[in-house]
Amino acid sequence: MPSLRDYRDRIASVKSTRKITSAMKMVAASKLKKAQEAAEASQPYARAMAGMIARVAAGVKGDAGPKLLVGTGADQRHILVVVSADRGLCGGFNSNLVRYTRNEVRRLKADGKDVKIICVGRKARDVLKREFAPLIIETITGLGGKSKLGFAEAQKVSDLVLDLFNRGEFDVCSLVYNQFVSVLTQKPSTQQLIPFVVASNENQDVASAPYSFEPEEDVILADLLPKNIGVQIFRALLDSAAGEQAARMTAMDNATRNAGDMIKNLSIKYNRARQAYITKELIEIISGAEAV
């Protein structure tokens, strides 16, 4: 049975842990507000960019458009850009994304596809390399730790993807990230970047509104498509940053409450042990007095 000192040391240790988790929760909550505002502000621009490209692409005939639009004509070689966090202590944020990515890789390999992975974030790299180390060709870290995430960080990833595509390293590029749905929900999602895919609602808008463009559609798309890749990656980075802070705030809040419950249980056990110790001392004193 633990001694009274053991109980006191354990209670002090848990109280110290509760202070740390409580502080981390408040820090994450303060960062979440700015991250959430940035993620929500990026959504309209990203959707407008995709819609504009869809309208321009509607005028391209056959396979005459840029390679970023029509692709290479094959879909054998796939590359996944996986956006995760550099730090842990954020609940299932990273583990859910890694599980989703692992299933995507297995699905593609089961279909006979060649798969490569670019990890944006240390946590995804650390887990995926256990099973798919030969598939990871590049790791970019340090983006999530910045106080303010800028488009320059997304441009680094975009330039890498475009360089690999221009060298003929892959046919299809997809972005895998945690979509920020709400403070309590971050949904692992996949978005195809190359070749460009027109969403169903954008198809309806394109079909109902004819456009004429100057200069030609090919010239416009050659300039817009590389920029769109950077915009979509930037939106995914902002979503991931907001989701990370939301998940960390929730996880630290749960940890703080669990620490409080543990302190209560340990205090009860300590009081019971203390009472038993006092009772034992009283019995010894009384027994000694009666013996005299």
Which residues are catalytic, by number? 90
Give the alpha-carbon dihedral of 25, 31, 37, 41, to 10 degrees. Answer: -130
Closest CA relative to residue 137, chosen from 80, 194, 176: 80
Beta-carbon count within 10 A of 98 CB: 23
DSSP codes joined into one string, 226-262: HHHHHHHHHHHHHHHHHHHHHHHHHHHHHHHHHHHHH
Structure tokens at 198: 């027109």
Locate 246 and state its tokens: 């939301």
The whole-angstrom separation of Cα 69 and Cα 66 is 5
Q: Distance between CA atoms of 279 and 178, rounded to whole angstroms?
A: 58
CA 225-231-234 angle, to 5 degrees, is 145
**What is the distance between the terminal CA atoms of the chain, rounded to a whole angstrom?**
32
